[in-house]
Structure 1
Amino acid sequence: MIFHPQQALKALILALFSGFIIRLHHTGEINSFINPQYAAFSQVASIIFLVLFFIQVTRIFLTEEQAVDHQYCNILGCSHDIEDTKPLKNRIGYVMICLPLVTGFFLPYSELGAAEAMNRAICYSSSETNTGHSHETLGTKSDDIMKEMIDQPILSLDHSNFIDYTNAIQTSPELFVGKRINMEGFIFSDKAVANGHPMLARFIVTHCVADAHVTGVVLSSSDKSLEREKGWISVRGIIDVHQLEGQLVPFIHVQQWNSIDEPTEPYVYP
């Protein structure tokens, strides 16, 4: 029997990819990278990697005849080593394939927050909001949501309704003037946004974190320490509107706020 280190390396890479995806699902960290609606696709990918691993294992140890005779090649490829005419190119290829494994297993990741929001699209009015739904669906759904919100004495925004409620407030802010509201998010301050007023915001992840964008509500408070806050807060206040760049923009008159820990699932999903 002949041991083929290159075939063993390929098997190891396949096993590590499968194990990495399985670990993300087991720990729940997968939700920090993709919309949970697509979790099934990544699970299928881990199974495919695992199947390919078992196929690859059969190529690690071969007889001398199998190692040199092309008649043992099949639709899945050759089990024997072919002369490596471009060793540098192949090594670079292996490095590029292994790079996501090394970073995934050994480098810590952090959730998107205020620092990352500086480089992302920011939505604080209805004309800028886009979550990928059709206009017909949004029209019917938003009407029902607005009726539901108008009937509530206090609007409480959480992980399940954050997008729907903020979209409704941004679409028809005049309907909610004077309405009390409770919501959580991270503080984001940018002089280019809302005349420098801080925003209470969260990231919307439509497909994966690569397409994440920020949405939220502008805050108005006499407490200057609020603008210096860098983490997550919980806010209680009253909705009002003001004119900004030719359009009505909702904002919250902050009555009370306090710092909170970052939630287990900081992102919201359409």
Structure 2
Amino acid sequence: MSFHLQHVIKAILLGFFALFFMKLHYTGEITKYINPKYDVMSKITACIFIMLFLIQLFRIRQRHHVCSSNCNHDHGNNQFTLKRVIGYSIIIFPIITGFTLNPATLNSTIAANKGSFLPQQYSEEFSLFEHADSLTEKEDIDIYTAEDIALPNNNYLTEDEYGKQLQLLQGADIIEVTDSMYGPYNEELNDNPQKYIGRKIKVTGFVYKEEGFHTNQFVLSRFMIVHCIADASILGFLIESEEAILYEEDTWLEIEGVLDVTNYKGYNLPVIQATNWQVIDEPAEPYVYPVLTFIQ
């Protein structure tokens, strides 16, 4: 029997990776990294790390043969070469950052890097639906209508429920832009802004001030996640009020107001003339996700 330091290090690393995934799921922070529909896959990954960790424990002490002094076998299991040090450093880095740094919520700085908040028909720089189209082409899945399977996504509705939510947009006294319907409502209001002039609306999000805005303007924004953080796209509603200058970027607000139409960069867009304001805490789930519907 012999003691292999390399196996000990590998077991420790696998153990920490398993703990990190368990921590993310226990605290709910996993949703700040991935779309909830991939939650099961992430749990499977955590189980695989646990299994590999247990296997590695058995390898820490193992029998090996003793060969003559002129054999060519490598007995440097406990030696640290430059190659091994670099390799372990690369693996250790995400473990250290994962445990020491809190996952940051996407904010106005990221929004500025994503480009204009204008929807696809107005801007070539930004488009939620470019990401959606690439998903449907690659996987042959309609992200708004998945009739064949009920995907493990927190944001799925039956077709009847989805239809009722759209009816509320057409006839409710106050249009409440909920997290589950944020994408469809945002798309409809941008496609047909004239249709909703004078309607009352209630929406939440964080303050984002795009370059070129007047002092009385900002976008009340949310990030739409299709797969993961890497494909995040910014959606939002243009707000106008004399109090807009009082609120810094990344401030979370709940706003009530009346819909109107304004011209921005040569395009007619819906704008909310704010009547009521309330500063709120960042929600536990700051992102919104595409709606997945199925036949019940």
TM-score by length of structure 1 reads 0.84
The residue aligned with 1:94 is 88
What is the CA distance between 1:201 and its match in structure 2? Answer: 0.3
1:259 aligns with 2:253: no
In the alignment, which of 173, 187, 198 is matched to residue 167 of structure 1? 187
Query: 2:196 — aligned with what?
Result: 176
Superposition deviation, residue 138 in structure 1: 8.1
Distance verdict in 2 for CA 1:251–1:225, change over 3 Å: same
Please, which moves more after superposition, 81-90 or 239-248?
A: 81-90
Alignment of 1:1-270 (within 5 A): 1-65=1-65, 87-127=81-121, 128-130=127-129, 132=132, 144=163, 146-192=166-212, 197-228=217-248, 230-270=250-290
Is the 2:107–2:250 Cα contact (8 Å) retained in structure 1? no
Secondary structure, aligned partner of 1:46: helix
- Alpha-carbon distance, 1:84 to partner: 8.8
Structure-2 separation of matches of 1:177 and 1:198:
19
Tell me the CA shift for residue 83 of structure 1: 6.5
Backbone CA RMSD of aligned residues: 3.1
* Higher mean C-alpha deviation, range 253-262 or range 130-139: 130-139
Count of aligned positions: 259
Query: Over residues 182-225 of structure 1, what are the superposed CA-to-partner deviations in whole Å (9 max), with x where a residue is unaligned?
Result: 01100101224689831000111111112212110111112244
**Cα distance, 1:57 vs. partner?**
1.4
- CA 32–179 in structure 1, closer or farther in 2 if over 3 Å, else same: same
For each residue in 1:217-268, what CA deviation from the matched residue of structure 2 results, as whole angstroms up to 9, or x when unmatched? 1111122444546410110001111223343211111111121111111111
Sequence identity percentage: 31
Q: 1:45 to 1:204 in 2, by over 3 A?
A: same
TM-score (norm. length: structure 2) = 0.77
Aligned residue type for 2:233: H
- Structure number with the higher helix fraction is 1
Deviation at 1:102, TM superposition (A): 0.3
Q: Give the whole-Å Cα distance in 2 for the aligned partners of 1:12 and 1:100.
A: 14
Listed as ranges, the gaps of 5+ residues in structure 1 are: 70-77
Query: Relative contact order, CA 8 A, sep 6+: which one is greater?
Result: 2
Alpha-carbon distance between aligned partners in 1 of 2:99 and 2:227, rounded to the nearest angstrom: 23
